[in-house]
Chains A and B, each alone.
Chain A
Amino acid sequence: MATAAAPHTARGQAYGTQDTAAETAGDTAAYQRAFDAAVAADERIEPRDWMPDAYRATLVRQIAQHAHSEIIGMQPEANWITRAPSLRRKAILMAKVQDEAGHGLYLYSAAETLGTSRDELLDKLHAGRQKYSSIFNYPTLTWADVGAIGWLVDGAAITNQVPLCRCSYGPYARAMVRICKEESFHQRQGYELLLALSRGTPEQHAMAQDAVNRWWWPSLMMFGPPDDESQHSAQSMAWKIKRHSNDELRQRFVDICVPQAESLGLTLPDPDLRWNEERGHYDFGPIDWTEFWEVLKGNGPCNEQRLNQRRRAHEEGAWVREAAAAYAAKHTGEREEARA
């Protein structure tokens, strides 16, 4: 909040004079200094504060991508709602998919504080101009995949997102606090689902193992490219949007998962996975970055299907949104009268 003081004053004066020339190079430099000082002091940047254009653009890109991931991410799990094998599991899964829609809503709101709109962002998603997490381009082939997504995918998301609760941009950080609480609940449910399968019949155990085999590597890819190939990392860390590097977070995730896999009674599909006493971490095998880049480019197993379903829902819903808008336009006056 303290960041606000200097830029607000300067900006207020600029508006007050109604003289665009007041936005001189000197003022911009002053805003930039105030911004840098605020970030250095771990203060939160708020929507009305001055911020560098590139900082704004990076946040819009990242928050939009995050929001899109929540809503595209509903699809692989919703794929199993109608086939959930018990009513308890069905209720848990429905609640989870509903939470994801809610997370999408928080995140679009956070992005809107940066001067964009949900409609604009959705258009970009549908046009393929903004991305969503590559993990959701993998198919859910068995019921156990629902558990593997909860344990591994939500687990990786939490590892990524907990540091975002301290991100320099206030609205994003606050959205993440709420989202992380629900995500960790989902993650425990996913783990518990896999545990039930792992301790169930031999067929159920095999189903769980197969799902973990298929989701392990894509989950490690969720942390993004290796540090030396990550184009946005250095700047994002300087701005304190990011707090840790991709590789650091990936290592943290592996270290957490190995003992959890052991207590699940499942193995992780990596022959190179072993404890390294010297580093105090688990070593793990090489990631297939060719696959990662292919999925990112749109050539994953479900890219087309996911985007098509999203576009179709949007297009087929157009008449509903138009009806709501037309109704609101007709009845706005009545509601105001009723209030008065």
Chain B
Amino acid sequence: MIEIFRFISGALILIGAFLSLVAAFGVIRLPDVYTRNHAASKSATLGVMSILLGTFVHFFMEQDHFNSRIILGIVFIFITSPVAGHLISRAAYNSGVKLWEKSVQDDLEEAVWRRNNRVRQRDN
């Protein structure tokens, strides 16, 4: 029984470390800040959540210790990391960081332009 749970927690930890490595490769190799943010905020979050779940299973089985702080940490990272990614990406767009020069579509630029026009018409 304890061997099975040791296998489960080892597999979760290995998957998490692999996903974290993949996220770092994405952050190194992708061309602009938005794609890099996409890589970093998704796969790093999933990798770390998987590692924390493996740690929780390990402590629960080996030491009979139910650690609620790890559960809280998983929930907190799951909630806050995409929010942080969204905020920093929006800050990058509003401070004028350019997209990759080979990207073909920028819907947000058109939406911002329309909103500015509407505000200008309302003020006149």
Tell me if chain B binds chain A.
Answer: no
Residues of chain A touching chain B, judged by Cβ–Cβ distance below 8 Å, are: none
